[in-house]
Amino acid sequence: MEELLHIRLATIEDAKMLFEWRNDEETRRASGTTALLDWDKHVQWLEKVLSGGFPGRTLHIVETGAGEPIGTMRSDERDDGFVEVSYTIAPFWRGKGMGKCMVLQFVHEKLAGRKIVAHIKKDINPASEAIARALGLAPFSEVSSDEPKEPPMVEWR
């Protein structure tokens, strides 16, 4: 990583960008829910996140040093002492090694010393599996998908 990335809290001004990233076909394919998002429901969800309506959840935007958004990081505190991380890489930045840099820096800066967990669709996203390994995580358990014909989600701890 040549330069450190800038990590900031998401704002309502990020709504359109987050909506577009989340509705991207490749993002949906790797997500737990593959359906297209509805704009109004997305804005309601984002407003709830930003106002603290999901206790223990944070949503960050990760940017280059020049301020160009490259992705988003979400963390959710769980009752079992783990913090679940999830992320999205902007379509333009995929395949450029930024996902690993972004996730490792986020965990180092925001979650140092915490027990991390991630959910990754089985056999769909080898890049996310490699990032989980770089965090020191390993497959722990599988949960069947609620969506027909979708692979199970693997919890990495």
**Domains, the chain, ordered by start:** 6-156 (3.40.630.30)
Helices (DSSP H) in 14-154: which residue ranges?
15-23, 25-30, 39-50, 98-110, 126-134
pLDDT tens, the chain, 157 aa long: 446 899 999 999 999 999 999 999 999 999 888 899 999 999 999 999 999 999 999 999 999 999 999 999 999 999 999 999 999 999 999 999 899 999 999 999 999 999 999 999 999 999 999 999 999 999 999 998 877 788 999 999 9
Please give the C-alpha separations between residue 106 and each of 42, 98, 133, in angstroms, as whole numbers: 24, 12, 15
Which residue has 């679940």 as its token pair?
A: 84
Please count the CA atoms within 13 angstroms of the CA of 125 that sit on its side-chain side.
28
**Rounded to whole angstroms, how far apart are CA atoms 127 and 89?**
11
Contact 117, 153 (CB under 8 A): no
**61: how many CB neighbours lie within 10 A of its CB?**
20
Q: Residues for the chain: how many in total?
A: 157
What is the 8-class DSSP label of residue 132?
A: H
